[in-house]
Amino acid sequence: MILNRTNRPEQPFEVHGALRSAMRAIANNLRTLRTKLFFTYVVVGLLPMLIFGGIIRDTVEQHFIERRVWQLRSGATDTAIELANWRYMHVDRTARIIADGMITERARELSSRIIITNDMAYVLFDSYGMLVGRTNAHPDILAALSGGTSEYTSEDRGLIRVALPVMYDGAAIGAVMIIHEMTDANQLLTIIGTQSMHLTLLLGGVVAIFVFLISSWLMEPLRHVLKGVHKISDGHLDERIKLEGADEFSALGVAVNDMTQKLEKVETARQEFVSNVSHELKTPLSSIKVLCESLLHQDEVENDVYREFLQDITSEVDRMADIINELLNLVRLDETELPLNISNFNLNKLVADTIKRLKPLAAEKDISVDLAEVRQVNMDGDEMKLTLAISNLIENAIKYNNPGGFVKIIIDADNKSAFLTVSDNGVGIAEEDQTKIFSRFFRVDKARDGQSGTGLGLSITQKIILLHKGSIRLNSQENEGATFLVRIPLR
């Protein structure tokens, strides 16, 4: 026999693969918030009903038993009193016929078995007719003949016995024992349990449907949010989540939209940053290339021309080096775990040393630099980084000033913070540019035309001050100068 190996052997593997895929899909579905919420509500809804049904059944059962015990005790008491009055134990069997009929009727009314014995535990009457003429030394009967009362309920609550003595002249002349099987109560309890189970299942089904609809309604905004988040994660930063209402999901949608807007701004800033870096580096490179090509295209070039061109090339290389160094400073300052080398230093001396170093730059433009020290300020901070920040502020005040202008620096402090004010009467900054002044590579047109700065100095200054938990503000009018106000905590 030749087996066909083309299709049939692969079918079990295909079936198993499909089964595994289905099981994985079911497992993934069971892990969803909607499924968890559904099962939680079902359990919370059904569990109280099941507990409540059990409590009701136990309560009804206990009530039936207590009521039945009371009925049996009352019936046994009445029977014992009647037997004593009839002198039932002392008459012959023929005289007890009427009494037996009455006791039989009582047994029927109580749906129970009644056994009567004399003081020797000899059975005189049994409503079942099984023990008459025999001795019944049952513990309950013996307890009754001793003058006590015996009551017994089986563990399964299916059998109840009550035994009382028949008293005459202060002595027990016999005993009455009533035995009752709880068949009627068990039937009723079974009916109650069945109806309770049916009601629980019905209510469970209603609750399950209700919870399913509610969970679907509650999860719909979340699915909408997730759909938007997936689009955003795919790079669609212009995606916005639209949710109506004032619940937590709407708040989540607003938060995601705010986050997306910030991401969009970050992405825009990143692109602008890359564009600005490319532009800033391209300009000196283009100048160097033009200068080199000019030299190459000339056959005979005098030494003075060579020297002039090389000086221009060196200047452009220095400019590129400045841009790269300041970019590296920004990268270091952007590190989230950037350590600050904290030490205690005198701010007045730091500013005075900075002014001394920048005096030659100010002298070139005949700009006066004045320092007003309201008080001596000792503070904790990273002296090297703060030197860079303060130097940038004073250097900008000198560079972007008019010839013959002035720069005024004020040092002051209170119990918590140091205050540094750097003012000049230079070109100033237009109002529409003041919000961008700390952006990387931003330079106002006048500054770009007149100077060759990198546009990174104020970004570095702001970053250093923020790292020290301080603040920097700008007040300026165009053509009237600018004032930078710096606050840095002393500790």
pLDDT of 191-202, one tens digit each? 777 777 777 777
Per-residue pLDDT at 71: 87
User: Which helix H or strand E contains 227, and what residues bound it?
Assistant: helix 183-233
Same domain, 296 and 347: no
pLDDT of 424-453, one tens digit each? 888 887 777 766 677 666 666 544 344 455
Distance of CA 145 to the CA centre of its chain: 73
Per-residue pLDDT at 161: 92
Tell me which of 483 and 245 has the higher pLDDT. Answer: 483
> Beta partners for 176?
116, 164
Same domain, 397 and 362: yes
Per the CB < 8 A criterion, the answer to whether 358 and 329 are in contact is no
Per-residue pLDDT at 273: 64
% of the chain exceeding 70 in pLDDT: 73
Per-residue pLDDT at 7: 45
Of 185, 208, 234, which one is at a domain's C-terminal end? 234
Give the torsion through C-alpha atoms of 160, 171, 103, 68, to 10 deg.
-30
**Band of residue 164 on the pLDDT scale cut at 50, 70, 90:** very high
Q: What is the CATH number of the domain that holds 397?
A: 3.30.565.10
* Arithmetic mean of pLDDT, 116-136: 90
Does the pTM exceed 0.85?
no
Q: How far apart are the first and last CA of the chain?
A: 94
Same domain, 262 and 182: no
pLDDT of 21-69, one tens digit each? 544 544 454 456 667 666 776 677 667 777 777 777 777 777 878 888 8
* Arithmetic mean of pLDDT, 408-432: 86
Tell me which of 215 and 403 has the higher pLDDT. Answer: 403
Pairing of strands 406-413, 368-373: parallel
Same domain, 279 and 380: no
% of the chain exceeding 90 in pLDDT: 7
Q: What is the CA radius of gyration of the chain?
A: 51
- Residue-averaged pLDDT of the chain: 76
Q: DSSP 3-state assignment of 379? A: strand
Is 24 among the domain residues? no
CA atoms within 13 A on the CB side of 95: 8
Q: DSSP 3-state assignment of 31? A: coil
Say which DSSP state 334 is in.
Answer: T
**Cβ-based burial of 11 (10 A; exposed 0-12, middle 13-18, buried ≥19):** exposed
Q: What are phi and psi of 424, to 5 degrees?
A: -145, 165
Give the tokens for residue 31: 């892990």
**Band of residue 114 on the pLDDT scale cut at 50, 70, 90:** very high
Is 367 among the domain residues? yes
Tell me which of 157 and 249 has the higher pLDDT. Answer: 157
- Sequence-distant (≥ 6) Cβ neighbours of residue 55 within 8 angstroms: none
Per-residue pLDDT at 59: 79
* Arithmetic mean of pLDDT, 100-113: 88
Please report the DSSP string for 400-432 in residue order.
Answer: TS-TT-EEEEEEEE-SSEEEEEEEE-SS---GG
| 14-18, 128-132, 324-328, 355-359, range with the lowest pLDDT | 14-18
Q: What is the CATH number of the domain that holds 229?
A: 3.30.450.20
Residue range(s) defining the domain that contains residue 346: 339-489
Same domain, 196 and 267: no
Tell me which of 478 and 373 has the higher pLDDT. Answer: 373
Give the tokens for residue 467: 């790292």
Q: Is the pLDDT of residue 329 over 70?
A: no
Per-residue pLDDT at 52: 74
Same domain, 346 and 416: yes
Is 6 among the domain residues? no
Residue 382: which of 428, 332, 345 has the closest Cα?
A: 345
Per-residue pLDDT at 480: 79
Q: What is the CATH number of the domain that holds 256?
A: 1.10.287.130
Number of structural domains in the chain: 3
Q: Is the pLDDT of residue 341 over 60?
A: yes
Same domain, 373 and 462: yes
Same domain, 302 and 355: no
Per the CB < 8 A criterion, the answer to whether 490 and 379 are in contact is yes
User: CA angle at residue 90 from 85 to 93, to 5 degrees?
Assistant: 105
Top mean pLDDT of 4-18, 113-127, 417-431 is at: 113-127
Is 65 among the domain residues? yes
Is 19 among the domain residues? no
Same domain, 279 and 397: no
**Band of residue 4 on the pLDDT scale cut at 50, 70, 90:** very low
Give the span between the Cα atoms of 76 and 179, in whole angstroms: 10
* Arithmetic mean of pLDDT, 259-267: 74
Same domain, 352 and 318: no
Per-residue pLDDT at 85: 84
Q: Is the pLDDT of residue 3 over 60?
A: no
Same domain, 268 and 230: no
Of 331, 351, 380, which one is at a domain's C-terminal end? 331
Is 2 among the domain residues? no
Same domain, 300 and 440: no
Is 239 among the domain residues? no
pLDDT of 58-102, one tens digit each? 777 778 788 888 988 898 899 888 888 888 887 777 777 888 888
Q: Is the pLDDT of residue 178 over 90?
A: yes
Give the span between the Cα atoms of 80 and 147, in whole angstroms: 12
**Cβ-based burial of 384 (10 A; exposed 0-12, middle 13-18, buried ≥19):** exposed
Is 276 among the domain residues? yes
- Sequence-distant (≥ 6) Cβ neighbours of residue 58 within 8 angstroms: none
* Arithmetic mean of pLDDT, 360-369: 85
Of 193, 210, 234, which one is at a domain's C-terminal end? 234
> Beta partners for 485?
421, 473
